[in-house]
Structure 1
C-alpha cells in the first residue's frame, strides 16, 4: 500500500504556503515531503519533525536558532535552507529539493566503490563540512543517509544542526546518545562532547565504508559498537579491499584516530589531504606511461625468477639442450616484462561520456563506440525532457571507471499523462480529493449558477472530465451556487416576458406603475436578480407606465428644441460584439449587461425611434 495516501499531511498546506504533494522519506526524527511553495511557485523539500519533538519547547527554540544559522551557510555542496516555521503540531524546515539518491542508496546498490570515485564523492562532502566548520557550525551526524547525490551528479550534505537541536531537548534526558552509533567518535561516546573533529572522525568512517562496502564495526547491540569505537582502532580499508591505495589507508587512519588531537584539525584540513591523495592516484596512473610500471611510495614489488643450474666445467661432452632451454626462458621472461610494461602503460580508465539530452539510441551507440558496455534502464517520467531523451547515466557523466565497464542509460518516458476525473455532483472537498488522487491540483475554484446542480456541489472541471493531461497539471473547479434569479430589470416588458418563458418561468406576473422610466420598461422584480431561488418560484415584474407628464423634456418645455430622431437597428440574436459595433457605428452609446452569459443578444432597450446618441443597453 502506498503510505503517502495514508499520511495525514499529504494534501494539506503547511503554514498557508507549502502544499504537501507526497512523502519522500521517513526517519527516526522527521519525515521529508515533496511540497509546492505556492507563494514562489517552486518545488521544495519540507522536513517535518515528529510530534514528540515538536511538543518540546526546548527543542523548538533550539531548532529555530539552528535553522537560522544553517540558512546563513551558503555553499554549493550544502542543501540550502529556505525557511522554518511551526503550524499547529508541526515544526518544519523548507529546503532545496533535488531529485536523486542518498549515498546509502548507492552503497546498497553497488557495495564497495573504487578509490578514485570514493574520493570524488568525499571531496565535496569535506568541502561542505569545511565551510560549516569555518562558520562555527558542527554537523554532528555525518553519515551516508545525510549525503545526497543529485540526478545531475552533484553532491549535497543535509541536516546541519539538527542533532544539536535534539541534544538540547528533553529527548536526551533518558541517556540517549545523539548521533548515529556507527559513525560516532570515541569522545562522543564517552563524554557526550563533539567539536569539528567529531565530524572528521565520522567522515573517515564514511570513507572506510565507501572503500570496503562495510562499516568498520559490527555488533549485536549499539552499545557493543560504541565500545569498539572507544577501544579499537579502525582497521585499514586494504584489509578488506586489497586494491585500496596506501594513501587512502593513511587518510582513514588519520581521520579516525581515537585521540582527537591526532586527527586533522577540521574538515578543511582533511579536504587538503583528500585532494592530495586524489592527485597522487592521478600521478600514479600517468606514470604508467613508462615501460616499467611504478607504484606508490612504500610499496615494493619483487620479481621472482627461476634459479638456473649451470653445466659442470668437467671436460666431458656438453649437452647443448640446457643452453637453448635457458635462452628460451630468458626470451620468455623478457617478453613477459615487455608485456607488463605495455599493459601498465595503457590507459585502463575512461570517463563516462556526457550522454544527457541525446536520443537514447544515439547515446547507446556513442557509449559502445567508446568501449563501454551499455544497459538501457527503465525509462522515467519527466515533464521537462522529451520522450526517449537521456535523463541520467549510472555512473554519472565524468566519473572515471575501468574501460569496458557497464553504463546504464535512463531515458525520459516523457510527461506522465493522467485522466481528469469526474467530479460532477461531488462536494467541493470530495472533488478536490478526486483531483488530487488523479495526480492533479486545483488551481482555482469558480462559482456558477445552475438550475440542475445543488448549491455547493461541483458542476464541472476545466479541463473537462476524461481529458488526458500532464500529471501535476492545474484544474479549475466550478462549484454551483444554486439557481439564481435572472436580472431582467431595464428590459422592455415584451422582451423580458419572452426571455422568462424560454427559461420556463411564467411571464404573466406583471404590475404596472407610474414611473419616470420609459413606458414598458421593467423597473423592478421579485425575487431580485441574483437572488437564490427554487425552480418553481414565480418571477413578478414591475413595469413602468411612463410619467404623468410627457416623457420627453421638449414635450414638457417648448423652449427646448427637439433633436433629430433615428431608428435603432434591431440587433437581437446577433453576436454581442457584432451588435455593439453596429450600434456604435450608427452613432449610439452602448452598454452591455450579462444575464445568461451566452454570446447572443437576447434583449435591447430602447427600440424604435430615439434621439441621435441615445445609450442602448444590450443583454446577453
Structure 2
C-alpha cells in the first residue's frame, strides 16, 4: 500500500496499526497538504457484505460527530475492491500503550483522562450513538495530553432498526464488555459506562479485573464475579476513585451511572477532594501473562474473605485480584463466531453441578426415602 494514492488524493505513507478487520495507515492529503489516517477494510473482508455495511456505518456514524474528544472522520471512499475511510491523524499513542509502559497512573492523571473520555462519550450519546467497544486501545492521546475516542466500528444508534447485530450475539472486546453485552442482550448508554469503569480500573491498577483461558470464561466473570478490590493491587488508590469504579461496574445497568455526564460529575468531585500530592505508588508495567479460570477466581475469593477491605457496599464480597495479563490475551468477540461460542443464557452460566445439587437435593432425598419404604414393604408382603 505504501505510495498508493487512494481517490487520487490520499497518498499512503506507512502502516501504523490494525487488526483482523482493518488496517490503519498514515497518509498525506495532497489537496489540503496535511497528514490524515486512512482506515482500510481488510482484503479478506472486501467481499463480505456484512462487514462492508458495518465499515460504511462506522464512517457515517462518526462523521456526524464533531468534538475535541472524538477522532473526526473526513471522508469515505472505495477504489476497486479497497474500502477506506479518511480520519483525523492523531500524533501520539493509545492509552493502552501508556498503561503498558508505565503501569498504573496517578489518581489525578486517571481522572483527567477519564473526564475527557466522558466528554467524548457524552457527545456520542447525545447524538444517539452507543460505542460498545470502549477500551484503552480505542483511546488515542496526543502530545498535549488530549484524549480522543476512536473506532466506532461496532457502535449502534439507539434505534432498533439501526443495528446490524442480532439478539444473542455479543459485540465488543471481551475484557471490557458489560454483563448485558456478554449475555447478548440489547445495550444502552450504561453499557459504555461499564466499559469506561474497566478502563478506569486498569488505569489505577495497571491490570484488568478479569482474565481467563477462553472468551466464555472471561465473559462469565463479567456476569457473575465481584470486581476485585483495586486497593489490594495498588493500596494508594483513593477511596473516592474506588467508589466510582464500583458504581460504574455494577452488574445491574440500572445501578450504574446512567450517563457519561453523571460519572463525569463524580470524577470532578473526586478530583476536588483528592490532594494533588496524594501518596502514589506506580505499578510496574505488566509483562507476564497469567490466565485465571472462573473456578479459580471463586476459590481466590473464598480465601480472601478474612482480610478483605471493609469499604463500599456492606456485605459485598470481593475476590483476590487476578494476576497481570498481557495485551495478547485481550480477545475481541467477533460476530462471525459469537452465535456458536459466546452467546450466554441464564441456564448456561448458572447451572453448575453444585448448584443443580443444591436445588434438587431435597427432592432426591425424598425420592430415595420413598424407594426404601417401597422396598421394605415389598419384602414384608413377599415373606407373608
TM-score, scaled relative to structure 2: 0.67
Q: Report how far residue 284 of structure 1 moved.
A: 9.0
Find the aligned partners of 1:101 and 1:146 in 2 and give their Cα distance: 10
Partner of 1:23: 15
- Does residue 222 of the first structure (1) align with residue 242 of the second (2)? no
- Does residue 38 of the first structure (1) align with residue 30 of the second (2)? yes
Q: Report how far residue 150 of structure 1 moved.
A: 0.9
Q: State the SS of the aligned residue for 2:89.
A: coil
Find the aligned partners of 1:168 and 1:53 in 2 and give their Cα distance: 19
CA RMSD of aligned residues (A): 2.4
- Does residue 193 of the first structure (1) align with residue 175 of the second (2)? no
Partner of 1:120: 112
Counterparts in 2 of 1:362-373, with a 5 A limit?
Answer: none
2:47 to 40, 52, 55: 55
Find the aligned partners of 1:43 and 1:190 in 2 and give their Cα distance: 41
Partner of 2:381: none
Counterparts in 2 of 1:234-383, with a 5 A limit?
Answer: 234-282=227-275
Partner of 2:170: 177
Residue-pair matches, total: 276
1:210 to 203, 211, 215: 203
Q: Report how far residue 259 of structure 1 moved.
A: 0.2
Find the aligned partners of 1:115 and 1:71 in 2 and give their Cα distance: 33
Higher share of residues assigned helix: 2
Alpha carbons 1:77, 1:124 under 8 Å: kept: yes
| Shift in alpha-carbon separation, 1:62–1:91, aligned structure 2, 3 A | same
Partner of 1:13: 5
Alpha carbons 1:147, 1:157 under 8 Å: kept: yes
Q: Report how far residue 160 of structure 1 moved.
A: 2.3
| Shift in alpha-carbon separation, 1:44–1:218, aligned structure 2, 3 A | same
TM-score, scaled relative to structure 1: 0.42
Partner of 2:325: none
Alpha carbons 2:99, 2:203 under 8 Å: kept: yes
Q: Report how far residue 66 of structure 1 moved.
A: 3.7
Q: Report how far residue 93 of structure 1 moved.
A: 1.2
Partner of 2:128: 136
Partner of 1:603: none
| Shift in alpha-carbon separation, 1:283–1:113, aligned structure 2, 3 A | closer
Find the aligned partners of 2:12 and 2:268 in 1 and give their Cα distance: 41
Q: Report how far residue 43 of structure 1 moved.
A: 0.9
Counterparts in 2 of 1:156-175, with a 5 A limit?
Answer: 156-164=148-156
- Does residue 69 of the first structure (1) align with residue 61 of the second (2)? yes
For structure 1, which segment, 137-146 or 82-91, has the greater mean C-alpha deviation from structure 2 after superposition? 82-91
Q: State the SS of the aligned residue for 1:133.
A: helix
| Shift in alpha-carbon separation, 1:138–1:168, aligned structure 2, 3 A | closer
Task: Mark the runs of 5 or more structure 1 residues left unpaired by the alignment.
Answer: 1-8, 286-297, 300-620
Partner of 1:100: 92
Q: Which has the larger radius of gyration?
A: 1
Alpha carbons 2:169, 2:184 under 8 Å: kept: no
Alpha carbons 2:182, 2:223 under 8 Å: kept: yes
Q: State the SS of the aligned residue for 1:94.
A: strand
Find the aligned partners of 1:86 and 1:177 in 2 and give their Cα distance: 29
- Does residue 86 of the first structure (1) align with residue 65 of the second (2)? no
Q: State the SS of the aligned residue for 1:264.
A: coil
Q: State the SS of the aligned residue for 2:110.
A: helix
Find the aligned partners of 1:66 and 1:104 in 2 and give their Cα distance: 22
| Shift in alpha-carbon separation, 1:93–1:194, aligned structure 2, 3 A | same
Alpha carbons 2:11, 2:27 under 8 Å: kept: yes
Q: Report how far residue 250 of structure 1 moved.
A: 0.6
| Shift in alpha-carbon separation, 1:88–1:202, aligned structure 2, 3 A | same
Alpha carbons 2:54, 2:154 under 8 Å: kept: no
Task: Mark the runs of 5 or more structure 2 residues left unpaired by the alignment.
Answer: 279-310, 313-384
Find the aligned partners of 1:176 and 1:69 in 2 and give their Cα distance: 21
Q: State the SS of the aligned residue for 1:229.
A: helix
Q: State the SS of the aligned residue for 2:182.
A: helix
Find the aligned partners of 1:106 and 1:81 in 2 and give their Cα distance: 24
Alpha carbons 1:77, 1:127 under 8 Å: kept: yes
- Does residue 146 of the first structure (1) align with residue 158 of the second (2)? no
Alpha carbons 2:197, 2:249 under 8 Å: kept: yes
Higher share of residues assigned strand: 1
